[in-house]
Amino acid sequence: MKRLHMRAFGKPSTAPELIESETPEPGAGQVLVALEAAPINPSDLLLIRGLYGHRPALPATLGTEGVGRIVAVGPAVDPVRIGERVLIIPTLKHATWQDQIAIDEDDAIVVDPAADVLQLAMLGVNPLTADLLLRRFVDVPSGGWVGQTGGNSAVGRSVITLAKQAGYRTLNVVRRPEVAAELLELGADAVVVSGPNLGEQLKKALGDERISLLLDATAGDVVAELAPWLLHGGTLVSYGGMSGAPVVVRPGDLIFRDLHVRGFWQKGWLDTAPREEFTAAYARLAALVADGTLRVPIAATYPLEKYQDALVHATQADRVGKVLFAW
């Protein structure tokens, strides 16, 4: 079987290599999953560069999340599980950019076999991140505003959908004005474009209202422009740094308005949350994927053999939608 791994950290376009290896045998309490689809996330690209919060021992097989079918089981696992379509929990214990993988039975969550396999493959990281960002930090009142940078990202789109379901309004900052209409159709209440007139756009969108929760995927100076629109004592949650710049908040906003700045890493939550809590969350979100409520655009799919093209595509700043490996 084939798998993507790297011997050294480096550029996503050059560090990974495709190798042949023996098909693993599931051990006691394990299942063997034949992958059907696995996305390329920004966190995967950071990991390849050696800039992520998790640095695997090298050489390392790559890929964080994915979905596939159980094709064999190890001792102490009920053979009835063979044939199930399962989500691989993205704990970073299991690398998904390979044809088949042996994982602990408990790390394979059953999902709807009739649902869109590509959308299911993206369930592990982005929708759960959006769900946790909305639920864990602030009790947003009904009709309250949630602001976010990276509004057109996969997490941002899930935030829009889940916030709408919860009765919140979303203010979404994007880089390109042409995506505004699509996000409004998705359910966004306001879309503003980062740039020199962002302040005027915010005033027009919010008037005298204020944001209860600000979710930041990009960092940089745009955060300083949004922070004054938070409620007194409001919370900013940083979960990404796509700009490569620091999170900027003026001292006056922190000191005189008691703003709270928090960080969030999904892996940290998965490592500590009770199993029944995250399996229930995945079940709830998987149902939304199955009925078409939760969807994100797909830019392209590639076979594993075309990994260099896939990784180059995934690094393009003007890309619209997610890039996935598909079997």
Give the DSSP H or E segment for 262: strand 260-263
Q: What is the pLDDT of residue 45?
A: 96
Give per-10-residue mean pLDDT for the chain (327 aa).
97 96 96 98 95 94 97 97 97 94 96 96 96 96 97 96 98 95 97 95 97 95 96 96 89 94 94 91 95 95 98 90 97
Cis peptide before 56 (omega within 30 of 0): no
Phi, psi of 90 (to 5 degrees): -80, 65
Q: Which is nearest to 34 in space by CA: 58, 3, 64?
A: 3
Phi, psi of 264 (to 5 degrees): -145, 130
Q: What is the pLDDT of residue 242?
A: 84
Q: What is the pLDDT of residue 218?
A: 93
Give the other-Cβ count within 10 Å of 193's Cβ. Answer: 17
CA 232/CA 230 separation, integer angstroms: 6
Give the active site residues: 52
Query: Is 57:104 a contact under the CB 8 Å cutoff?
Result: no
pTM of the model: 0.94
Give the other-Cβ count within 10 Å of 248's Cβ. Answer: 13
Q: What is the pLDDT of residue 243?
A: 84
